[in-house]
A = this chain, B = another copy of it.
């Protein structure tokens, strides 16, 4: 960041004042034709570009928004980032991104940093353990609006863009029942994540809607690791009438489950069917795969988050601060 041409240099060279040059370049109507031409020509010749840092400083804004995600290696969030970026860059905003790795301390440090960097707004997921929202509050008190994406706090006052989890889970479950499965199960995600509960509710709603409330059971694995999933599957398979239609909180849980079945209960492999949340790109190459996946539309979620944030950053009144993105059932 060195010797960029400045207004001052142009003005000196032209023998006019700095403010004249500035106005000429900003299409101020009070500048004479002749002067404007001269200014514009020289600016072009010298490859003048305004110094954004100075401009942002002067205008007390940065045309930058912050984006906080758990992990950029996660396909879901990569696509969400992409969606945010698309809308942001179309509106001349640049995106400052950081990952929390689901560590709350790290998240708070990032929030501080973003405030210092002078972002005009923030899109954030929260870590599963976060209950104290004061770091976010601090931002909002400083006039920096925050949109929670995908994962959001319980407080309904928070602007948020989330998946319509219960509907998606309900549809997926209904789909499994329509395929003829008599016994259903849902492998839940971490209890502290709101999406876990919402998907469970959708699962149960589907059962009730079909008047089969007793045909399904919710199993709560200890965690998201392959081992946790294997224990869950083992428990389900040990039942007198084991479920054959299984909804999983995440698609990769279904993959782990399938791998386990193949190893331990190969004879059941073709009788059990799975549906999971997240539509992974490599699924098409798999021999044994879930019969369907819930596409969570992360790109759309990111784009909508950015649009909502744009509204909040402008002073136009916002119609709704809660946006729910429907999931799409993809049958493989």
Contact = CB atoms under 8 A, between A and B. Distances in A.
A84 to B, nearest CB: 10
Interface size band for A = 35 or more
Interface of A: 1-4, 47, 49-54, 56-57, 60-62, 72-73, 78-79, 81-82, 85, 89, 94-99, 112-113, 115-120, 138, 142-144, 255, 258-259, 280, 282, 285-288
Contact of A85 (B99, B112, B115, B280): B99
Contacts of A258: 285
Interface of A (DSSP majority class): mixed
Nearest to A96: B94
Contacts of A1: 60-62, 118-120, 142-144
A293 to B, nearest CB: 13
A4 B142 contact: yes
Given A53-B56, A142-B4, A89 B94 contact: no
Given A89-B98, A119-B1, A62 B73 contact: no
- Copies of this chain in the oligomer: 2
B57 A53 contact: yes
Contacts of A62: 1, 53
A257 to B, nearest CB: 11
A4 to B, nearest CB: 6
B117 A52 contact: yes
A60 B2 contact: yes
A303 to B, nearest CB: 14
A314 B255 CA distance: 48
Contacts of A259: 285
A50 B117 CA distance: 10
A97 B52 CA distance: 17
